Structure 1
């Protein structure tokens, strides 16, 4: 049985040589629990040696940025639970800003049931989700297209946002920390996210629990308080507490609970209620 330090060095070596390591494979290889491996990966990530992924870790630089298509299939249930929570706080008739990304894309899918809404977005996936809805007004922010994220960034997008304001802003993230905010692969993305946040009355960051506390890249969007982190109920309590202690409101979307349907669910949406989520509180 290897010592903890020796095991972590071996995990790092495997990730560097193979590019990717999964929790299940590492747990079986070292004959320790998955929880132990997750703690090892979290420590290696905090040391800047590995980048966490859904279900494992990768060597920094091995896969610099996953495409939108790749990310859409990761943490699928968690992302859709978060999307249901976010949709439930929106009031029909509001003007909202949707960032690009897979989790915000899941929110756009939820919005198709709305009768009246004004949506602005730089994301091609958001536009595609809402393109067939004649009840939702969609404004597209142009600019330079980042093919990997399928979204527009740059001076043209920023100039357009300067002339707009929104009731609610929903941001995606490659990762998010309590002290530095949103982590992204590209500085143009972080500049745009900071501007988005400044243009909204209510700001939400939608990030599943695998993204909390990670630092896979070196571009950051710093968000002024107040803002709300919406994550899933699989988030580790110590990670959530860091956000709460920093003055950030945290909402946990319940993954296991099936979304309500029928007239009762419609009433919940009209009144802004969400039976499938709960706020995090410090005891």
Structure 2
């Protein structure tokens, strides 16, 4: 089920508000009736995207990621814009890691007409997409398939990625906390993300704004470790954290860099 524009905006507001909103705040923000907001909240709650509480909603407290099908529809337009921005910055002939998740999957789709790359990935959907472009050499890591997430995991997968040193590593994150730490939902995911960070000349983080303050239990690293952060909307606290770092920030809503990296 595809989320409506208002439902996506509710999720964005919930993140910006620190994870809690009242129904009254939502009806005022969108100038709609309580009944209309209640329908939206019921849909979001049914998909596990919010938790209903008395008088409003909060971000769900989860030790597991949302289902793959749910993640596919959250902020889809934003993820597509992020993907196009990344694809436009990859030069012909570059070597690339492409990590797990729905935003890296959108990056693969944005690369359908790229003149040529070498891509190493454990993202099955990305691999199937990339094989449609004969100018892209795709190397797929072995390992254990996670049917729920349509990717490959495990020690063999991580070991395979660590055999390379690539030009660009593209990864997502389960969440970004208030300290700017990159969070994941399992140690396996964290190990893979860490391999991409460690074995890339330039690391590109791709996440939409719904990941800000999203709960996930495993700490992978810090946003200041990445060279480029591509998002559709940058929360002010994250922008402040990155102001004195080397990280370049691209906001697709404006196609501007909020600050120059040091």
Identify the TM-score tier after normalising by the shorter chain: 0.7 to 0.9
Q: Distance in 2 between matches of 1:184 and 1:253?
A: 24
Q: Distance in 1 between matches of 2:190 and 2:255?
A: 28
Deviation digits for residues 171-192 of structure 1 (CA, Å, limit 9, x no counterpart) = 0112124745321111110011
Q: Distance in 2 between matches of 1:186 and 1:226?
A: 20
Instruction: Confirm whether residue 278 of structure 1 aligns to residue 247 of structure 2.
Output: no
Q: Secondary structure at the match of 1:281?
A: coil
Deviation of residue 141 (structure 1)? 0.8
Alignment match, 2:61: 60
Question: In the superposition, relative to structure 1, how do residues 279 and 30 fare at CA in structure 2: closer, same or farther (>3 Å)?
Answer: closer
Q: CA RMSD in A?
A: 2.7
Rg larger in 1 or in 2? 1
Q: Distance in 2 between matches of 1:231 and 1:136?
A: 25
Question: In the superposition, relative to structure 1, how do residues 29 and 228 fare at CA in structure 2: closer, same or farther (>3 Å)?
Answer: closer
Q: Secondary structure at the match of 1:197?
A: helix
Which 4+ runs in 1 deviate beyond 6 A?
none
Range with greater deviation from structure 2 (139-148 or 75-84) = 139-148
Deviation of residue 115 (structure 1)? 2.0
Give unpaired runs (5+ residues) of structure 1: 1-20, 35-50, 255-275
* Superposition TM-score, scaled by structure 2 size: 0.74
Q: Distance in 1 between matches of 2:149 and 2:243?
A: 29
Alignment match, 1:205: 205
Are the counterparts in 2 of residues 177 and 243 from structure 1 also a CA contact under 8 Å? Answer: no
Are the counterparts in 1 of residues 92 and 117 from structure 2 also a CA contact under 8 Å? Answer: yes
Q: Distance in 2 between matches of 1:179 and 1:103?
A: 22
Deviation digits for residues 45-83 of structure 1 (CA, Å, limit 9, x no counterpart) = xxxxxx976xx644314x832122211111011111111
